[in-house]
Amino acid sequence: MTDHFRALVIEDRDGKPVSGFKDLSLADLPDHDVLVEVLFSTLNYKDGLAVSGKGRIARRLPMVAGVDLAGIVVESRNPAWRPGDRVVVNGWGMSETEWGGYTRFQRLKPEWLTRLPDAFTLEESMAIGTAGYTAALAIDALEAWGKIKTDAREVLVTGAAGGVGSVAITLLASRGYRVTASTGRPETHGYLSSLGATGFVDRAELADKGGALQKERWAGAIDSVGSTTLANVLAQTVQSGAVAACGLAGGADLPASVMPHILRGVALLGINSVTAPHAERDRAWAILSESLDRQRLADMTTVEPLSNLPQLAQDIVAGKIRGRVVIDVAK
């Protein structure tokens, strides 16, 4: 175990959050009970905002960025965790209020750790990452609603070529749903078809404000865009359908009407991946273990060194990233 290691740290410079690489020691880490050797992290849209400085994600500085990590327990003051345990951490305020995963070592609270299912390697767990785990939470919520699977009409996935969308499509297809993908990038249609999408909607069709009630089409939907897109999806959802909302890439506003809810019984299901209780996390990872096609996961994933993060952050915010990006923190 090395005394010094590299991390991507966000610091305050003239009142602005600026990220850069910095050498840390174990003594610099927070005084939490479990020390983990981090092997892999990942790149999410929120990571892109934090690292690029285009969003004030970190609420205290300095901050080690990265909302995900996967690694091996090295030391533990908590009996629930032992050296050698394989663990994954998603959310829990990492990169916002707690130091995150873009570092070779991190100290963490024991209640943040999830034991990695045997079905996955550490690298695969970060190919899934918060994006894939959030997609599984959304599917769990839709299926708990109980009125989706038997409907022969389509399930819509917005932001389809992104991380949440890519995993959501392959999970839904594997579980027997007919999936329509919404994307503004026609060049990704072949990729999305390979994941299981059978239809496409240009995101521009959902971007303009529409009527409070529109033609019924979607039995259910997973939305990572928000704003007008979510409002239109709700207006197009069938009687007793449901929409799981898990993102705001298009904006945090919701210019919607109550009409779909009170006249069609449409449910809006909010997905909170950051502080989800362990029972929900365990169900999400069970869905991933049961239904995630490993070859499709590999096809949607690229592995990049930690050194490439500054440019990758710019790319994901600009909408240039397709699928999932695993960060090898040792490189």
DSSP string, 7-73: EEEEEEETTEEEEEEEEEEGGGS---SEEEEEEEEE--HHHHHHHHTSS---SSSSEE--SEEEEEE
Which helix (H) or strand (E) segment is 171 a member of? helix 163-174
Mean pLDDT calculated for residue range 207-216: 95
Helix axes 309-317, 45-52, angle to 10 degrees: 120
Residue of 300 and 21 predicted with greater confidence: 21
Number of other residues whose CB lies within 10 A of the CB of residue 318: 11
Class of domain 4-116+297-328: alpha beta
Confidence of residue 147 (pLDDT cuts 50, 70, 90): confident
pLDDT value at position 152?
A: 65
User: If one looks up domain 130-270 in CATH, what number appears?
Assistant: 3.40.50.720
Sheet holding 63-64, edge to edge: 16-25, 4-13, 63-64
Residue 144: pLDDT band (50, 70, 90) is: very high
pLDDT at 151 over 60: no
Average pLDDT, rounded, for the chain: 94
CB proximity list for 104: less than 8 A, separation 6 or greater: 2, 5, 6, 7, 37, 38, 329, 330
User: Is residue 150 scored above 60 in pLDDT?
Assistant: no
Q: Using CA atoms, how far apart are residues 275 and 263, in angstroms rounded to an integer?
A: 32
DSSP label at 329?
A: T
Please check whether residue 166 is in contact with residue 160, taking contact to mean a CB–CB distance below 8 angstroms: yes
Asked if residue 72 lies in contact with residue 85, where contact means CB atoms within 8 angstroms, the answer is yes
Helix, coil or strand: residue 12: strand
Name the band, by pLDDT with cuts 50, 70 and 90, for residue 15.
confident
Tell me whether the CATH fold assigned to 4-116+297-328 matches the one assigned to 130-270.
no
Averaged pLDDT, 14-18: 90
Beta-carbon-side half-sphere exposure of residue 183 (alpha carbons within 13 Å): 28
Residue ranges of domains in the chain: 4-116+297-328, 130-270
Global confidence as pTM: 0.91
In percent, the amount of the chain with pLDDT more than 70 equals 98
Cis previous bond, 62, omega within 30? yes
Q: pLDDT value at position 3?
A: 79
Across 95-109, average pLDDT: 97
CA atoms within 13 A on the CB side of 322: 14
What is the Cα Rg of the chain in Å? 20
Pairing type for strands 324-328 and 34-42 reads antiparallel
Q: Average pLDDT in the 292-301 region?
A: 92
The region of weakest confidence among 127-131, 248-252, 302-306 is 248-252
Find the mean pLDDT for residues 62-84: 97
Q: So what's the pLDDT on residue 153?
A: 72
Both structure tokens of 38? 């981090």
Q: Pairing mode, if any, of strands 4-13 and 267-270? A: unpaired
Q: What is the pLDDT of residue 146?
A: 83
pLDDT number for residue 148: 74
Determine the average pLDDT of the residues in 92-96: 95
